[in-house]
Chain A
Amino acid sequence: MKTTKLIQVGRRLAQALPSVFGVIVISFVLTRALPGDPAVYFAGDMADKDSIEQVRRALGLDRSWVEQFVIYVGNLANGDWGMSLSTGRPVTEELLNRLPASLELTLIGLGLAIAVAVPLGVMAATRQNSWVDHLCRLLVTAGVSLPTFFTGLLLVYVFYYLLGWSPSPLGRLDILYLPPPQVTGFYTIDSLFAGDRETFIASVVQLILPAATLALFALAPIARMTRAAMLGALASDFVRTARANGLSRRVVLSTYAFRNAALPVLTTLGMVFSFLLGANVLVERVFSWPGIGSFAIEALVASDYAAVQGFVLAMALLFVCVNLAIDIILTLTDPRVGLDD
């Protein structure tokens, strides 16, 4: 039994390889689709003829497409994702420096959304046509069409300008505080490690609005899926049998219905994460959050192509990893997965 699971996990890992390959191919095409001569762009504004030639040779632009692709993949594997023109430092370094800020925001946003949406969906399904169900439907309908950047600005207006409850929407910490010594790069966790309660509170306060914005955005699909999956599970034969056998409502709901409903919800989480990575860029722009989204926007404005393409590639690889993780969790927890192949 254990070995078949291992084989299945191995197969999932192998199935991710084509995705990674496809992502790299598209990213390669995007770097070569630049208007005009890529060598001129990557050499920078100050470049003379010789250095453009040098860059052309370094990028392998004088060779065939296949050779160029092999060189490109080799460079990526060596961690050479190009130099950021606007900061003059390697793209990988810039991205890695800013990744914790974005991850902290995205994960907390996602966590908040799950914490609200899953119970809401379950309650809506168990009490159909009650006020919870109507609330759920309202949130789902309203949430699907929310422009994240607009929600963010609305929250800023209400909670910063009108009520004055939240600090100014500028970055991860108020300027009065110093960032905690870096361990994980997550300010909330790092400040706890450093035992600095004040900084911890300051970083949490700063996180609330942007995380809530992301959560509002992610709420709708999760709640909708939970409700639908719970309804499906509650209507199934095994729940009827469990009820007929006189099991308590609690056991029927949590053990029989919810466990089965959790699987499709987990699958939707992958899609939600993809949307969150996009929404994250907009939210970072609204709250001046110093993450990779803001970095990408700055790079876009400065026509810093290597940085933008590095950002796109990094996000895609991150998303492939998340999907892979979800797949593996599904494989390990759902005994039905892989039975037919």
Chain B
Amino acid sequence: MQRYLRHFRYVMGENPVTVFAFALFTFIIFLAAFGPWITPYDPVATNAANTLQPPSWEHLFGTDHLGRDVLSRVIAATRLDLGIAISAVALSFFVGSALGCSAGFWGGWTDRIVGRLSDTIMAFPLFVLAMGIVAALGNTVENIIYATAIINLPFYARVARAETSVRRNAGYVYAARLSGSGDVRILATQVFPNILPPMMVQISLNMGWAILNAAGLSFIGLGVRPPDAEWGIMVAEGANYIVSGEWWLTIFPGAALKLAVSCFNLLGDGLRDLVDPLRRT
């Protein structure tokens, strides 16, 4: 543990960008957790007398076409966007590691079926597949989560499979088997904890993409319904006004989205350095 911490501090010291990403990450989590209490205005309260106002001291990010405060909406959206991404990533992490672990551990038919399944999902342009899934299942936020989870499944299954098959014949697996553990028990208590570090990296790299994907889906009108605040739908609403110069409707939620995605990507790179110093770029 001590060694790990020292390594952590070393990697952080090496790369100030990772420090920045960690700070930003904490800030985003803070906004998601306490967003509703720190928004200066009600994010869905309209005000017909005060529409399309440019940024001012009263409304730092301006107001939108219904007079709603853009800053409040950007803050309020953090929870929804992050919620969608975290649920989707958690779903594909659990299902993907279960599938990948069994494929890597048992091989044979299990491996073939899981491999074929992820190949088939990867044969689609993923965003397009997500559109099709949401269209088939129905246009709700839950289905956005399922669609995002399904298109991310292959990545987790592949990492889990590769990492498991390397460790299938490790000494500690034999030791556990000798002491009488069954396959499932070995997978859960011996193999799974050992493949967690590379899986965490995958999660962090994937998270940004999940946010981007969910925002893209709601940008084209799927999932999140107005008047709910969500970055993708805010950019979509602002799109009609940017040609006439009302930039703040689009730029602020778009920048928030971009920042969140960058944060997770940088964090993923940092985590990878932490976990696997050899793969540093």
A residues near B (Cβ < 8 Å) are 18-19, 22-23, 25-27, 30-31, 33-35, 141-142, 144-150, 153-154, 156-157, 160-161, 168-169, 228, 273-275, 277-279, 281-282, 285-286, 296-297, 300-301, 305, 308-309, 311-312, 315-316, 319-320, 323
Contacts and interface: CB of A to CB of B under 8 A. Distances in A.
Contact of A156 (B116, B236, B242, B257): B242
Contacts of A279: 127
Interface string B117-129: 0011101111111
B251 to A, nearest CB: 7
B242 A147 contact: no
Nearest to A35: B138
A296 B219 CA distance: 14
Given A149-B216, A281-B128, A305 B258 contact: no
B125 A278 contact: yes
Contact of B239 (A18, A33, A160, A286): A286
Interface stretch (B4-12, B46-54, B55-63, B260-268): B260-268
A145 B260 CA distance: 9
B127 A278 contact: yes
Contact of A300 (B135, B254, B257): B135
Contacts of A312: 124, 128-129, 131-132, 135
A150 B254 contact: yes
Contacts of B127: 275, 277-279, 281
B128 A311 contact: yes
A277 to B, nearest CB: 4
Contacts of A305: 135-136
A35 B140 CA distance: 12
A277 B126 CA distance: 9
B168 to A, nearest CB: 23
Contacts of B262: 141-142, 145
B212 interface: yes
B245 A145 contact: no
Contact of B247 (A27, A157, A277, A319): A157
B137 interface: yes
Contacts of B247: 157, 161
A23 B257 contact: no
Contact of A26 (B124, B236, B251): B124
B133 interface: yes
Interface of B: 116, 119-121, 123-129, 131-139, 208, 212, 215-216, 219-222, 232, 235-236, 238-239, 242-245, 247, 250-251, 254, 257-258, 261-262, 265-266, 281
Contacts, number: 154
Given A141-B262, A153-B250, A320 B123 contact: yes
B243 A169 contact: yes
A210 to B, nearest CB: 14
Given A147-B257, A149-B216, A316 B123 contact: yes
A150 B256 CA distance: 11
A314 to B, nearest CB: 9
Contacts of B137: 33, 35
Contacts of B132: 27, 30, 308-309, 311-312
Return the 10 tightest CB-CB contacts between A and B, nearest first: A278-B127, A22-B120, A312-B132, A150-B254, A277-B125, A145-B261, A145-B262, A308-B135, A30-B136, A33-B136
Nearest to B132: A312
Given A33-B137, A147-B212, A153 B123 contact: no
A301 B219 CA distance: 12
A156 B126 CA distance: 26
